[in-house]
């Protein structure tokens, strides 16, 4: 089975690192794969940083990485909007790096509800009543409503933070509208972006992640091989109860060479 795998997709938080700490062996495994000529990409649902920021962090932790090898939900959102509404006027409930990414991609950022064509919900630790009011007014006037990722919480060292689901819920609750698209994992929009970057058929790819309902679910639905690592958010009980069973279950990424 191993010899047909040509592409490897790695979730970041809980799979490659935990906060600022590399999962032991991750650097060695990535080096081995690259040495064998495999394609490697890294995947995150977080829109808090740009692809450049993630590449810098991986490089700093001992895995030299180019921005083009990183796919995160802000990149998938930019790709999604560029195809459907290039140069549209948008309002993002999100943090500065995400807004800068939208500006760089040619979108117009506005806080005027009469001009806003798209409202984008994202993980935003600066979310406040002013932003809620702008989004509310724009959505009431018929702006489109999309979000970067469905995660309820984001794991950090020693706990979790409320994530994008909290922002989506606020906007849905006050407008009675339903978000039209959530582009991050496990959306097929993320798979599309991965396969475009990988330039490989899905069945030649292995997706490695620590969260069953996003990583493993998405990999399975795309026709990829999947490996669940127990170094992140999933415990044995969750694994047993899930309808999305992975092809492999490993204590950590360090086990990967066993299937090559
Ligand atoms: Mg993860």
Identify the pLDDT of residue 168. Answer: 98
Identify the pLDDT of residue 3. Answer: 55
pLDDT tens, 117-126? 999 999 999 9
User: Average pLDDT, stretch 207-227?
Assistant: 96
Quick one: which of 82, 57, 54 has its CA closest to 70? 54
Report in angstroms the alpha-carbon separations of 116 from 76, 96, 109, 136: 20, 18, 8, 11
User: Distance (Å, rounded) from C-alpha 9 to C-alpha 252?
Assistant: 15
Instruction: Write out the two tokens for 149.
Output: 């990722």
For 164, left (φ over 0), alpha (ψ -120 to 50), or beta?
A: alpha
159 pLDDT above the threshold of 50: yes
Q: Quick one: CA torsion of 169, 172, 174, 175, rounded to 10 degrees?
A: 170
User: Distance (Å, rounded) from C-alpha 157 to C-alpha 33?
Assistant: 28
**Secondary structure (3-state) at 63:** coil
Q: Where are the alpha helices (DSSP H) in 1-144?
A: 26-35, 51-60, 73-84, 96-104, 129-140
Asked whether the domain spanning 85-182 has the same topology as the one spanning 2-45+186-259, the reply is yes
137 pLDDT above the threshold of 90: yes
Check: CB of residue 212 under 8 Å from CB of residue 236.
Answer: no
How large a percentage of the chain has pLDDT more than 70?
99
155 pLDDT above the threshold of 80: no
CA of 74 to the centre of ligand 1 (A): 16
CA of 59 to the centre of ligand 1 (A): 18
Q: Where are the domains of the chain?
A: 2-45+186-259, 85-182
Identify the pLDDT of residue 166. Answer: 98
Could you name the CATH architecture of 85-182? 3-Layer(aba) Sandwich (3.40)
User: Average pLDDT, stretch 186-200?
Assistant: 95
Identify the pLDDT of residue 198. Answer: 94
CA of 232 to the centre of ligand 1 (A): 6
How large a percentage of the chain has pLDDT more than 90?
93
Q: What are phi and psi of 249, to 5 degrees?
A: -125, 125
Task: Provide the pLDDT confidence category of residue 1 given band limits of 50, 70 and 90.
Answer: very low
CATH class of 2-45+186-259: alpha beta
User: Distance (Å, rounded) from C-alpha 185 to C-alpha 111?
Assistant: 28
CA of 36 to the centre of ligand 1 (A): 25
CA of 48 to the centre of ligand 1 (A): 15
Which helix H or strand E contains 164, and what residues bound it?
helix 164-175
CA of 43 to the centre of ligand 1 (A): 9
CA of 234 to the centre of ligand 1 (A): 9
User: Average pLDDT, stretch 140-154?
Assistant: 95
User: Average pLDDT, stretch 174-190?
Assistant: 97
pLDDT tens, 19-57? 899 999 999 999 999 999 999 999 999 999 999 999 999
102 pLDDT above the threshold of 60: yes
Q: Where are the alpha helices (DSSP H) in 199-235?
A: 217-222
Check: CB of residue 21 under 8 Å from CB of residue 245.
Answer: no
CA of 260 to the centre of ligand 1 (A): 23
User: Average pLDDT, stretch 88-104?
Assistant: 97
Strand partners, 109: 90
Which helix H or strand E contains 120, and what residues bound it?
strand 118-121
In terms of residues, how long is the chain? 260
- Residues having C-beta closer than 5 Å to ion ligand 1: 11, 13-14, 210
User: Distance (Å, rounded) from C-alpha 160 to C-alpha 69?
Assistant: 26
User: Average pLDDT, stretch 181-204?
Assistant: 96
Quick one: which of 153, 220, 149, 217 has its CA closest to 181? 149
Average pLDDT over all residues of the chain: 95
Identify the pLDDT of residue 2. Answer: 47
CA of 216 to the centre of ligand 1 (A): 11
CA of 13 to the centre of ligand 1 (A): 4
CA of 111 to the centre of ligand 1 (A): 33
């Amino acid at each position: 089975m191993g010899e047909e795998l040509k592409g490897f997709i790695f979730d970041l938080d809980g799979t490659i690192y935990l906060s600022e700490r590399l999962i032991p062996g991750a650097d060695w495994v990535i080096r081995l794969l690259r040495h064998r000529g495999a394609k490697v990409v890294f995947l995150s649902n977080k829109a808090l940083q740009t692809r450049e920021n993630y590449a810098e962090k991986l490089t700093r932790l001992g895995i030299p990485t180019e921005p083009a090898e990183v796919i995160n939900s802000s990149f998938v959102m930019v790709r999604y909007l560029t195809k459907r509404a290039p140069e549209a006027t948008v309002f993002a409930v999100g943090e500065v790096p995400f807004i800068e990414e939208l500006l760089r991609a040619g979108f117009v950022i506005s806080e005027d509800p009469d001009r806003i064509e798209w409202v984008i919900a994202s993980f935003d630790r600066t979310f406040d009543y002013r932003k809620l009011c702008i989004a509310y007014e724009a959505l009431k006037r018929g702006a489109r409503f999309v979000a970067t990722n469905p995660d309820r919480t984001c794991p950090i060292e020693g706990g979790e933070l409320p994530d994008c689901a909290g922002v989506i819920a606020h906007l849905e609750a006050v407008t009675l509208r339903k978000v039209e698209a959530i582009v991050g994992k496990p959306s097929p929009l993320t798979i599309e972006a991965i396969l475009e970057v990988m330039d490989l058929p899905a069945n030649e790819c292995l997706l490695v992640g620590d969260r069953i309902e996003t990583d493993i679910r998405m990999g399975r639905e795309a026709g990829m091989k999947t490996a669940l690592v127990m170094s992140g958010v999933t415990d044995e009980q969750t694994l047993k109860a899930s309808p999305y069973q992975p092809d492999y279950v490993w204590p950590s990424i360090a086990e990967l060479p066993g299937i090559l």
